Structure 1
Amino acid sequence: MMPQFTDICRINVRGGDGGAGCMSFRREAHVPKGGPDGGDGGRGGDVVIQASARLSSLIDYRYKHHFHAERGTHGKGARKDGRDGEDLVLPVPMGTVVRELDPETMEPLYEIADLTHDGERVVVAPGGQGGLGNTHFVTSVRRAPAFAQLGEPAQEHWIELEMKLMADAALVGLPSVGKSSLIARMSAARPKIADYPFTTLVPNLGVVRAGEYSYVVADIPGLIEGASEGKGLGHEFLRHIERTALIMHVVDITGGFEGRDPVEDYRVINEELRRYASELADRPQIVVANKCDVSGMTDRVAELRRAATEDGHPFFAVSAATGAGLNTLMLACGEMVDKLRSELASEAAPVTFDERWERRRREREARFQVICEEPGAYRVTGTQVERLVVQTDWENEEAIIYLQHRLARMGVDAALEEAGCRPGDEVRIVGRAFTYEGAEDPDEI
């Protein structure tokens, strides 16, 4: 039985909870009025997705779906901070797209990251912030703060991992046009080959070496008319072509058992590529007429060559069975791939990928939104705002007053007023409800 190719997985991730800050005062002989000395809680560990060149599938996430990082420990007196939790690093193949899922529908909400480089990583479940000890809340008017922050509980959510093949060139075409035979001839790949449709059900990768060139070719399972609309396994197969720099369009010049028109086959596949993603129609493409060793194909080869040339695509006539024309094809592909790689390298901006994904995450966390849920009741949502609320000790009046000042400084009061909230209305954040008393001076701490 052919091994299953796992290219989409859904997993549940949760960072470690943050440790609580400590409320403590220095107590020593001959120091009757020692100041606050509570240490901070440790930060919870992050769940990190990291691209690895050593992996080729997402099979590790097929049977295990829940991943939790280590929690931080609580702070102690004498300014002793709690220990941070260990990060949990989950390796995935290069070419993995990470998406946030809607917790109810399990449909993708937005893209978190697209990991295309070895070692590139993104935090998908940040650990909870450790609570601050009472040493942080000393001001000119608050000399002995009798409160500290609680640790932030980490958020648990579902994400989707989708692996897209990282190949330089993709062999595409109708079923049984000889793509598997070609990749077997061109590389050391040994795909299952038989003379009937849909022999290949999973993409095969092969490394081709021709002259000074070396590149990776993917044998994409055969497409059918209507693949762009999801017929057969169309969408699953087509998405693997998106990452390849070069399309090698293979056409059975004999027309197969059905006696199809090779030019019509060529048009059908190009139309499916265009319908699935318009940019695929503009992707560099070479047209490969296979099975040219069969007698009486001269006119058909000429017609297909004319159609490809009119579309601006290089044309090659080959035979996977005899090897005729393959060396020329392989060298030409290597030259085109090398040129495309150089163009992409020159266009690429010098950027630290990890910083890009981290910056995007922080921007998402900083946003908050005010929604009128019903007359006289408003809900505030947003990661940072909710974090402040869950870290507040609701049994301590000083801690609650501090929270009110922090929310005002973040602009929450101003946003509530702009949304129509008036004194006496109810404000809801996470599982807490407050009576709005009007905007405070955000400069007050």
Structure 2
Amino acid sequence: MFIDKVHIHVKGGDGGAGCMSFRREAHVPKGGPDGGDGGHGGNVVIQADGSVSSLIDYRFKHHFKAQRGTHGKGSRMHGANGDDLILKVPMGTIVREYDEETKEVGETIADLTHDGDAVVVAQGGVGGRGNIHFVTSTRRAPAFAELGEPAHEGWIELEMKLMADAALVGVPSAGKSSIISRVSAAKPKIADYPFTTLQPNLGVVRSDDYDYVIADVPGLIEGAHEGKGLGHEFLRHVERTAIIVHVVDITGGFEGRDPVEDYRIINRELELYSDEFAARPRIVVANKVDMPGFEDNLERLREAVKADSLAAAGGNEFAESPIDPKLYLTSAVTGKGLDALAAAIGTRVHEIREAARAAQEAEPHYDHVWERKRQAREQKFEVVKLSSDVYRVVGTQVERMVVQCDWENEEAIAFLQHRFKRLGIDAALEAAGARDGDEIRIVGRSFEFESSRMHEDIYAGLDI
């Protein structure tokens, strides 16, 4: 089964808790703190693998979780880090944020186009620090440690798009599957009725000069850009291809269709689906020339292709056009013209790929863009006034601090208050109108607000 779009929930491993411990040895009645750190949780990583051909592994299993870190121990023994969970996907998979409640797709996380490309989609929680980290000149024996940080989690969308150099498009029964079966080792289903091909087929073409991958995209109908006939599901597989090979049944098929009108319909659907398709390099093929009585249709189609090529070049007959003005004549039955077509596609694909490679090398590369955006989002917080004396503080980083705090330990709570002040939460609450005694809610905890002036003595000597 061909599965090319799935939604999965990913969660990193939670961080292990830090340890609150003091050194105990013979003849050392008051040893210093020696609590170890908790281990970091494992990450969930999406990795492109050339040996994987579909997303079938994620059709029935939708929840994935990495290993958590273990807790720290005394004698400065740190907890072990959790193992990363690596999820293999086909090359050509796009990873996006996804909202399961609204069913809306968010920002693109990564486009994994090469074997080995990988991206962290759910970062493991940082292990809590042991009490050895909280020693200061005024706090010689800190009796608290941090709990492990909760891991990142959320839904993502995995969408696989075919990694083909050229795509055969056209109306149903134009002969696309027959052509790919003759020029490559692909063995698609072939029959004399429409919509024989219901999923894309890939084949490797080995011409005299260049090898390339060609895709047979299921037949398109009028209205495909609006999703008719599964148009969106088929058209998106054309997005990655370097060149479009438009196959036209020059005989009009059993229905007696007008080949030139079919040609116009497919061009229109491609352009309506994406403006980029209008400038995509294109080769037009008149197929089934082994049948009699196609001469009139052939001449009309040839003129239409020349006119479109000239228009794409801005009316300048000497300028290069993305549309090849030559009409290629083929017969998948007799093999006529297929070698010339395969060679022409290979040459054009090679030129396009070389130009793209040169442009990519000239551009700067920015790694981990999505990760930096995610961190920036998490550092933000918002103060919401719920009533005249109740406020809620909302923000990922702030909420994690609350979860990490050991609420059975007064020193840990005082340390959390100090971190809030350093983040500017106290100032933000005062700016929002909070007064001493008001209720402040964060996650599942409730606090009584005290202005920074009232507890400056608590903060003395505390360090983050």
Shift of 1:428: 2.7
Is 1:121–1:354's contact at 8 Å kept on the other side of the alignment? no
Shift of 1:416: 4.0
Separation in 2 of the partners of 1:364 and 1:300? 59
Shift of 1:266: 1.2
Separation in 2 of the partners of 1:415 and 1:309? 66
Which residue is equivalent to 2:228? 231
Pick from 441, 447, 454 the counterpart of residue 434 of structure 1.
Answer: 447
Separation in 2 of the partners of 1:125 and 1:69? 9
Mark the CA change 1:34 to 1:220 in structure 2 (over 3 Å): closer, same or farther: same
Is 1:122–1:354's contact at 8 Å kept on the other side of the alignment? no
Q: How does 1:175-194 map to 2 (within 5 A)?
A: 175-194=172-191
Q: Determine whether 1:17 maps to 2:26.
A: no
Mark the CA change 1:381 to 1:97 in structure 2 (over 3 Å): closer, same or farther: farther
Shift of 1:116: 1.3
Q: How does 1:24-43 map to 2 (within 5 A)?
A: 24-43=21-40
Q: How does 1:352-431 map to 2 (within 5 A)?
A: 355-419=368-432, 421-431=434-444
Mark the CA change 1:136 to 1:343 in structure 2 (over 3 Å): closer, same or farther: same
Gaps in structure 2 of 5+ consecutive residues:
310-322
The Cα offsets for residues 134-175 of structure 1, whole Å up to 9 and x where unpaired, read as: 111112222211100011233443222111111111111111
Structure 1 range deviating more: 135-144 or 190-199: 135-144
RMSD: 2.2
Shift of 1:22: 0.3
Q: Determine whether 1:322 maps to 2:334.
A: yes
TM-score (structure 2 length as normaliser): 0.89
Where 1:232 maps in the other structure, the secondary structure is helix
Which one-letter code corresponds to 1:224 in the other structure? Answer: I
Gaps in structure 1 of 5+ consecutive residues:
none
Q: Determine whether 1:263 maps to 2:263.
A: no
Mark the CA change 1:370 to 1:274 in structure 2 (over 3 Å): closer, same or farther: farther
Shift of 1:235: 1.0
Which residue is equivalent to 1:122? 119
Which residue is equivalent to 2:315? none
Where 2:261 maps in the other structure, the secondary structure is helix
Pick from 47, 50, 59 the counterpart of residue 47 of structure 2.
Answer: 50
Where 1:339 maps in the other structure, the secondary structure is helix
Identity %: 66
Structure 1 range deviating more: 353-362 or 382-391: 353-362
Is 1:417–1:439's contact at 8 Å kept on the other side of the alignment? no
Pick from 61, 64, 71 the counterpart of residue 61 of structure 2.
Answer: 64
Pick from 273, 277, 282 the counterpart of residue 276 of structure 1.
Answer: 273
Is 1:122–1:358's contact at 8 Å kept on the other side of the alignment? no
Is 1:15–1:126's contact at 8 Å kept on the other side of the alignment? yes
Mark the CA change 1:265 to 1:157 in structure 2 (over 3 Å): closer, same or farther: same
Shift of 1:131: 0.7
Separation in 1 of the partners of 2:116 and 2:443? 36
Separation in 2 of the partners of 1:375 and 1:89? 49
Pick from 136, 150, 155 the counterpart of residue 153 of structure 1.
Answer: 150
Pick from 247, 251, 256 the counterpart of residue 248 of structure 2.
Answer: 251
The Cα offsets for residues 97-154 of structure 1, whole Å up to 9 and x where unpaired, read as: 1222224234323322221121111112221221110111112222211100011233
Shift of 1:218: 0.7
Structure 1 range deviating more: 162-171 or 31-40: 31-40
Separation in 2 of the partners of 1:338 and 1:90? 32
Separation in 1 of the partners of 2:240 and 2:394? 36
- The aligned length equals 442
Pick from 119, 131, 135 the counterpart of residue 134 of structure 1.
Answer: 131
Which one-letter code corresponds to 2:10 in the other structure? Answer: V
Shift of 1:424: 4.3
Is 1:45–1:72's contact at 8 Å kept on the other side of the alignment? yes
Which residue is equivalent to 2:313? none
Which residue is equivalent to 1:345? 357
TM-score (structure 1 length as normaliser): 0.93
Separation in 2 of the partners of 1:269 and 1:209? 28
The Cα offsets for residues 199-235 of structure 1, whole Å up to 9 and x where unpaired, read as: 0000000001111101101100001111111112111
Which residue is equivalent to 1:334? 346
Shift of 1:432: 1.9
Shift of 1:435: 3.1
Separation in 1 of the partners of 2:240 and 2:433? 48
Is 1:209–1:215's contact at 8 Å kept on the other side of the alignment? yes
Is 1:120–1:353's contact at 8 Å kept on the other side of the alignment? no
Is 1:99–1:108's contact at 8 Å kept on the other side of the alignment? yes
Separation in 1 of the partners of 2:68 and 2:231? 43
Which residue is equivalent to 2:162? 165
Which one-letter code corresponds to 1:222 in the other structure? Answer: G
Mark the CA change 1:420 to 1:289 in structure 2 (over 3 Å): closer, same or farther: farther
Which residue is equivalent to 2:95? 98
